[in-house]
Chains A and B, each alone.
Chain A
């Protein structure tokens, strides 16, 4: 069975500091991995996805993530946090080959302070 673990339900950084949100997955088959962002009272928006091409994936708003098979990780990073990055971030895994079912982690709430 597939699962996703996001370490840290809350992360707080200063504006301009590095953002690192952790995601570890469990999958019996090569996975597809996704990061979604959710702003208050809105739906989820795709930041980036890994679909077995390049292991370093660049997304929107300056975010990127690196797929590390040996560590079963797909951590999300951004070199310099902006106030507008404050939101909830979800990592998700899909086993592919089937019907696109996403398994989400519990989410990490990112706070950015001046």
Chain B
């Protein structure tokens, strides 16, 4: 079974530039998550999709971050414009349809973003 795919693996940009990350979840997983992991911290949920609908984006900085999941499969996360504090690893995860919070989330390798 193929895992969660993410690209690119690394990205370096200047502040105020824009950047986009791509995620392809495990086939059949209806739920997709984007996390931000700042160095020395645990992952923090940015946005959660159920199929192609958003179910939680309470911690997404909507003035600069956006995400979409067209057709309920692949997803992209965009930052525009980037700030220095956006330097982090962006993790994508997927899971089967939730069953009371017990489902395992499967994580991709992440995209390491450095903003200079």
Contacts and interface: CB of A to CB of B under 8 A. Distances in A.
A and B are interacting partners: yes
Contacts of B106: 46
A44 B40 contact: no
Interface string A1-45: 000100001000000000000000000000010101000011111
A99 B55 contact: yes
A43 B45 contact: no
A101 B41 contact: no
B110 A43 contact: yes
Contacts of A97: 100-101
A81 B63 CA distance: 46
Interface residues of A, number: 28
The residue in A41, A46, A92, A99 that gathers the most chain B C-beta atoms within 10 A of its C-beta is A99
B109 A104 contact: no
B41 A41 contact: no
A34 B55 CA distance: 21
B101 A104 contact: no
A90 interface: yes
Size bin of chain B's contact surface: 20 to 34
B7 to A, nearest CB: 13
A69 to B, nearest CB: 17
B20 interface: no
B101 A43 contact: no
B28 to A, nearest CB: 16
Contacts of B43: 44, 90, 102, 104
Given A44-B91, A96-B100, A102 B41 contact: no
A59 B93 CA distance: 20
A100 B95 contact: yes
24 contacts: A4-B42, A32-B102, A34-B104, A42-B109, A43-B4, A43-B91, A44-B43, A44-B91, A44-B107, A92-B42, A94-B102, A97-B101, A98-B100, A99-B56, A100-B101, A100-B103, A100-B105, A101-B56, A101-B101, A102-B43, A104-B42, A107-B40, A107-B41, A107-B42
